[in-house]
A and B are shown apart, each in its own frame.
Chain A
Amino acid sequence: MTAIQGFAAFRRRVLPRESTLTAGIVILSAWLLVALFCPWLAPYDPIAQDPSATLLPPNPAHPFGSDNFGRDILSRVMWGARIDLQICLIGVAFPFLLGTVIGAVSGYVGGVVDTLLMRLIDIVLAFPFLVLMLAIIAILGPGLGSFYIAMAMVGWVSYARLVRSQVLTLKHRDFVLAARSLGYSHGRILFFHLLPNALTSSLVFAMSDCVLVLLSGASVSYLGLGVQPPVAEWGVMVAEGQSFITTAWWITTFPGLAIVVLAMGFSFLADGLGDKWGARP
């Protein structure tokens, strides 16, 4: 994380405010377009092997080179965008929903419920993030489904804490009293009056969390517990290429760069939205 934080600090000094948002939107829409149109954009089939074209360095026919099975790296990076964007969105959506509901209820109800849920969060946080993820995936068996479940079980805590702290300060605001004086139920007040006010900072956090999810998705796939070969996924590609790192650098470098650029896109978006909405993740 320190590298990302250092980069964020560098970026904050160099780029003007609004341009971060623009940069984020441009990068993400570019990846989205690639993901949507990769069947037409990609020059080759991402899993088609070509024994006559193995380990080719970048050249006009294979701009990113080819791997040890003769698969085109550019095509695999493009198809990989589909899987990796999906990992980001689903991997963030589940923890976001779960954490928001738990945090909102915890902050609003307070008392014993709040204490119990907060201790549960402490327990989850007591384990290193990746270790807990790997343990859950190991129990459920490798695959993307297990990854999403593990992500939801581990990732909700940050959202729960964030939303809880927002709800705690918001629930004593005057408009809540006004809503009570109109006879609305607690559920209605919490989910229709408080949450829309509390969501800003956790939405911003969700954007920067995409980076974390992307990296853990890639790490888990790298360890062979996420996306299984021969599917083109950037983490898998880095893992497959590492034994050739000294002789064929392009196999690991281009998917690695793709991860960095997509992560930058989410990071820019989070930063830009944070400035725009006045919330810092």
Chain B
Amino acid sequence: MTLLQVSNLTIEDRLGTALVDGVTLSVDRGEILGLVGESGSGKTLACRAMMRLLPGDGLAIRGGEIRLNGADVLAYDDKRMMAVRGREIGMIFQNPASHLNPVMTIGKQIAEGRRWHFGASRREARQQAIELLRQVGIPDPARRVDNYPHEFSGGMRQRAMIAVALACEPKLLIADEPTTALDVTVQMQVLHLLRDLRDRLGLAVILITHDLGVVAQTCDRIAVMYAGRLCETGGKRQVLGAPRHPYTRGLIECQPSSDGGVGRMVTIQGQPPLAQRFPAGCRFHPRCGRATTECTSIQPEMRVDPGTDNHAAACHHAVSVTNRGMVHGQ
């Protein structure tokens, strides 16, 4: 059942540049969607738009629809939006050190959500905070509840931030690169925690990341973004196993293999374009080995490969089940 449906979302800056252009996504209950792309590809912006918390004052949602449980979130006034934030959609961030209030104890920050959204008493909220800390795997939560963020380690802070978000019992958790600032073993623990929460609470998660390894371990479905546009969406196995868009293929080939590999690491040549100089047509064409004149002028639509279950790509030369062998032979 669809929890959040984003259609044709377009976000423009003051100059009218579409930093997020026609993005269409959906998340089901209990599903983990991986949103993948390079820095500056508009992943975070798209997710901030879902909470109506765009940074800066020049950015605005210029088109599209965001439907939460069928209701149009963009039509909500500030007061109704406040009831959506935290309560319906929660958010956790890359850098828990700066996203936790330095002068408030961890327990108070968790309890505040209980008190604000559920009207819990001080004592109830504290008990619930201890319980939430236990749930996210903080050892000795009854003592830790009175610690300040600086007394927690990096991994524990991320868990604490997850607990703060969970205190409001959201249906959807947007996790903006939650593991980027953590070392690998702690990364694994946090990802396990997210999967565990999905299994136990039926939480839907949008996991923003640029790490395909994280996606492979955690997500059910994947959406790949490049320069503000969606290039490929589909099931995890479809996208990672049989990428249809050249950019996705490039991303996968960039991953260093665990056995060391041979020779130089494969990279995608060139740089992602600046927002003010997005190329016409397909925004990936200057870096694409398969680009033709068609790619330089006509913007490709997202098209579902007919032979698959909702595996879509925005490419004039998208690989499909039927022509896969042919393109490989090129």
Known A-B contacts A175-B100, A196-B104; A181 and B85 likewise in contact (beta carbons under 8 Å): yes
Q: Is the CB of A182 within 8 A of B102?
A: no
CA distance in complex: A129, B116 (Å): 44
Does B53 count as interface, using CB distance less than 8 angstroms?
yes
Residues of B close to A177: CB separation below 8 A: 53, 55, 93, 99
**Nearest CB in chain B: distance from A120 CB, A:** 25
Does A178 count as interface, using CB distance less than 8 angstroms?
yes
**Nearest CB in chain B: distance from A277 CB, A:** 11
Q: Is the CB of A174 within 8 A of B164?
A: no
Residue of A nearest to B108 (CB): A192
Q: Is the CB of B104 within 8 A of A178?
A: no
Does A193 count as interface, using CB distance less than 8 angstroms?
yes
Does A5 count as interface, using CB distance less than 8 angstroms?
no
Q: Is the CB of B93 within 8 A of A174?
A: yes
**Nearest CB in chain A: distance from B93 CB, A:** 7
Does A11 count as interface, using CB distance less than 8 angstroms?
no
Does B165 count as interface, using CB distance less than 8 angstroms?
yes
Residues of B close to A181: CB separation below 8 A: 51, 53, 85-86, 90-91, 165
Known A-B contacts A183-B168, A193-B104, A197-B103; A173 and B98 likewise in contact (beta carbons under 8 Å): yes
CA distance in complex: A188, B101 (Å): 13
Residues of B close to A179: CB separation below 8 A: 101
Known A-B contacts A178-B91, A193-B104, A196-B104; A185 and B99 likewise in contact (beta carbons under 8 Å): no
Contact of A182 among B55, B95, B104, B168 (CB under 8 A): B168
Does B82 count as interface, using CB distance less than 8 angstroms?
yes
Q: Is the CB of B53 within 8 A of A196?
A: no
Q: Which residue of B100, B101, B165 has the most chain A CB atoms within 10 A of its CB atom?
A: B101
CA distance in complex: A213, B207 (Å): 56
Q: Is the CB of A175 within 8 A of B116?
A: no
Known A-B contacts A193-B104, A196-B103; A182 and B90 likewise in contact (beta carbons under 8 Å): yes
Q: Is the CB of B83 within 8 A of A183?
A: yes
Contact bitstring A173-205, B, C-beta under 8 A = 1, else 0: 111011111111100100011001100000000
Q: Is the CB of A182 within 8 A of B101?
A: no
Contact bitstring B57-101, A, C-beta under 8 A = 1, else 0: 000000000000000000000000011111100110101001111
Residue of A nearest to B56 (CB): A172
Residues of A close to B165: CB separation below 8 A: 181-182
Q: Is the CB of A182 within 8 A of B164?
A: yes
Residues of B close to A183: CB separation below 8 A: 82-87, 116-117, 168
CA distance in complex: A196, B102 (Å): 10
Residues of A close to B98: CB separation below 8 A: 173-175
Does B113 count as interface, using CB distance less than 8 angstroms?
yes
Known A-B contacts A183-B84, A193-B104; A178 and B93 likewise in contact (beta carbons under 8 Å): yes
Residues of A close to B161: CB separation below 8 A: 178
Contact bitstring B27-46, A, C-beta under 8 A = 1, else 0: 00000000000000000000
Residues of A close to B101: CB separation below 8 A: 175, 178-179, 193, 196-197
Residues of B close to A173: CB separation below 8 A: 98
Residues of A close to B103: CB separation below 8 A: 196-197
Interface residues of A in 243-274 (CB under 8 A from B): none
Residue of B nearest to A182 (CB): B86
Q: Is the CB of B53 within 8 A of A182?
A: no
CA distance in complex: A180, B85 (Å): 7
Contact bitstring B149-193, A, C-beta under 8 A = 1, else 0: 000000000000100110010000000000000000000000000
Residues of A close to B55: CB separation below 8 A: 177
Q: Which residue of B86, B102, B164, B165 has the most chain A CB atoms within 10 A of its CB atom?
A: B86
Residues of A close to B117: CB separation below 8 A: 183
Residues of B close to A184: CB separation below 8 A: 82, 86, 112, 116
Residues of A close to B104: CB separation below 8 A: 193, 196
CA distance in complex: A192, B91 (Å): 20
Residues of B close to A182: CB separation below 8 A: 85-86, 90, 112-113, 116, 164-165, 168
CA distance in complex: A181, B113 (Å): 11
Contact of B53 among A175, A180, A185, A192 (CB under 8 A): A180
Q: Which residue of A177, A183, A184, A192 has the most chain B CB atoms within 10 A of its CB atom?
A: A183
Residues of A close to B100: CB separation below 8 A: 175, 178
Residues of A close to B95: CB separation below 8 A: 174
Residues of B close to A188: CB separation below 8 A: 116
Residues of B close to A178: CB separation below 8 A: 91, 93, 99-101, 161, 164
Q: What are 29 of the A-B contact pairs (CB < 8 Å)?
A: A174-B95, A175-B98, A175-B99, A175-B100, A177-B53, A177-B55, A178-B93, A178-B101, A181-B51, A181-B53, A181-B91, A181-B165, A182-B90, A182-B112, A182-B113, A182-B116, A182-B168, A183-B82, A183-B85, A183-B87, A183-B168, A184-B82, A184-B116, A193-B104, A196-B101, A196-B103, A196-B104, A197-B101, A197-B103
Closest 5 CB pairs of A and B: A183-B86, A183-B85, A182-B86, A174-B98, A181-B91
